[in-house]
A and B are shown apart, each in its own frame.
Chain A
């Protein structure tokens, strides 16, 4: 395997958690709920999945635990922002603070443990094609699942009745409510889906990307996922592009650090965060204010009678 191939493969691995987490958030935001707790849900997903995978020596149970942890965190958020109509920005932040703290508690006994690499799927014959063979036909299951999920979410949002309902609730919850659409129910499931995806993304980080657990290992990826949703103008297709651009930036930055260009490593470490700001800026320059943002995004819903 050449270095070039290796870099391409790590880009896929770095992009996948961003894509999965951002997809979940995209669905939640399309229903009109801004959940800033992605980072916290992701951290919980990582800690719980790693704890379960080590305890039961099973990647499958680990992934299930990660998804469940993310969904549980999301249901707490749903209770506060839907049940009590609390401020979404503040509650999301609280969820992140809570999740980062709690994940530290859960993961503490597992610091230092390691998991074996997850098996890669190998399509016989096709994976032997130079360069693209390994890239397209010898990835782990999660990579294919994330691509499939992107397509499914895109189809769901644009081609199904239920997706239309979700989008109309996100655009204008007052009108949707007047039409008799179940605003709370749809939002609850959308938030839960977002949490499950963030949990899965965290599980991928801990079980595939690093294969160990350390406090704060999400390192702002949840926030980058949130930025990606804005960058993609709330469209799943663009999310795929954006996630891979960011994954590439992260990986190339790491390789540049290893190559020692004489640039301080901290400058290169800052690249993903500066790139996020730059991406948001370029987007605003081209389109003006937050194009494609759902109309009711972030507004608490209280039905008037």
Chain B
């Protein structure tokens, strides 16, 4: 017996929309099975991972906080993935954005600098991420170097840059030798939207990015150009769209948004630089982008859903003694299921017994 794939002549939009949901349920069932194998109760895990965070106002705020960087990065990645370009180094662009933005925060530390600090920090974050993202794009367009490997290698380099800074020149002299910078001044801190709340203004940036992207992709020539470059590169060339400038543009956009996510997280959430400033947002955002079907609104929903696995993972670690690695494993399985579901939407699978078919 073996498979046969036949392309479906017309795909219903309902199926396309339901595919990620089906993938999510499948991934959940697999995770439940793994938890059962580990000798824990899947029902209790479901309660801790899903029901508890959703029924507690504090966790709901936390959900938005965690979804913010995911949505920002994933929105950026959707530009790359739509153009069939593989930026898998968003984690590095996030780190460099955070580093460059924090440079200003540390420079102005204790100087009574005014309101201009924060906007400039955010801008520097965007620039840092974009420049870091432009390295693989430049190597690809100028020399034909594969962007997958270079963008990934630069993640390790970025993490080492951050590590060097917080252990060396940027270490807080009064920090008891801990590898961390000074705590940012209020003028360099992104404040909560509501007094005493957890959700900071970064959430608004994510919303703006979503809406702007929806307009750009649906209503502008640039959006059309991305779609064409991804789906029919030859046609895009004939139409006069330079694939090189498209590559540079999408890497700059995705790097910039990842950088913004980085500085937003450091300034609004952590409040200082430390060796680790991300639980893998840059990689998880790849899952988020595909779970959201590369659609801005879809990504927003997907970011909230995947943020749930981070929060659930943290409480499961405390309540059920389930390691945090389970969350990462789940995110990997989820991405596999999403991609498989995508394929199932485009192709019909038939089982052929030996002798039958071709």
Contacts and interface: CB of A to CB of B under 8 A. Distances in A.
Contacts of B153: 220, 223, 227, 273-274, 276-277
Contacts of A133: none
Interface in B140-194: 143-146, 148-150, 152-154, 156-157, 160-161, 163-164, 167-168
Given A40-B332, A76-B336, A289-B144, A223 B326 contact: no
B24 interface: no
A108 interface: yes
Interface in B282-305: 283-284, 286-287, 290
Interface string B252-278: 000000000000000000000000000
Interface stretch (A5-13, A24-32, A61-69, A262-270): A262-270
B340 A86 contact: yes
B298 to A, nearest CB: 16
Contacts of A264: 164, 168
Contacts of A105: 38, 323, 325-326, 329
B328 A226 contact: no
Nearest to B150: A277
Interface in A66-93: 76, 80, 82-87, 89-91, 93
B323 A108 contact: yes
Contacts of A98: 328-329, 331-333, 335-336
Contacts of A76: 336
Nearest to A82: B3
B144 A284 contact: yes
Contacts of B336: 76, 80, 86, 91, 94-95, 98
A184 interface: yes
Interface in B88-102: 88
A22 to B, nearest CB: 13
A270 B283 contact: no
A98 B160 CA distance: 24
Given A223-B152, A290-B146, A99 B332 contact: yes
A5 to B, nearest CB: 30
Contacts of A220: 152-153, 156
Centre residue among B3, B152, B330 by max chain A CB count within 10 A: B152
Interface in B115-136: none
A101 B332 contact: yes
Nearest to B332: A98
> Helix, strand, loop or mixed for chain B's interface?
helix
A226 B86 contact: no
A227 B335 contact: no
A129 interface: no
Contact of A101 (B7, B330, B358): B330
Interface residues of B, number: 55
A270 B157 contact: yes
A242 B283 CA distance: 28
Contacts of B335: 90-91, 93-94, 97-98
A266 B164 contact: yes
Contacts of A230: 146, 149
A267 to B, nearest CB: 7
B329 A102 contact: yes
Contact of B149 (A40, A100, A215, A223): A223
Interface string B19-31: 0000000000000
Contacts of A132: none
Interface in B3-54: 3-7, 38
Contacts of B167: 266
B326 A273 contact: no
Given A89-B86, A276-B153, A215 B145 contact: no
A33 B69 CA distance: 32
B151 to A, nearest CB: 10
A90 B358 contact: no
A270 to B, nearest CB: 5
Interface string B320-358: 000111111111111110011011100101000000001
A95 to B, nearest CB: 7
Q: Among A104, A288, A290, find the residue whose CB has the most chain B CB atoms closer than 10 A.
A: A104
A285 interface: yes
A95 B329 CA distance: 9
Interface string A242-270: 00000000000000000000001011011
A270 B290 CA distance: 31
Given A84-B349, A305-B358, A104 B323 contact: yes
Nearest to A77: B336
B139 interface: yes
B287 A94 contact: yes
A211 B286 CA distance: 33
11 contacts: A84-B349, A87-B342, A87-B343, A89-B86, A89-B148, A91-B335, A97-B329, A98-B329, A273-B154, A277-B145, A277-B153
Given A94-B336, A101-B330, A227-B153, 9 more contacts: A36-B148, A97-B332, A101-B328, A108-B323, A108-B325, A220-B153, A266-B160, A276-B153, A284-B145
The list of the 7 closest CB pairs from A to B, nearest first, reads A98-B332, A104-B325, A101-B328, A101-B329, A94-B335, A97-B332, A266-B164
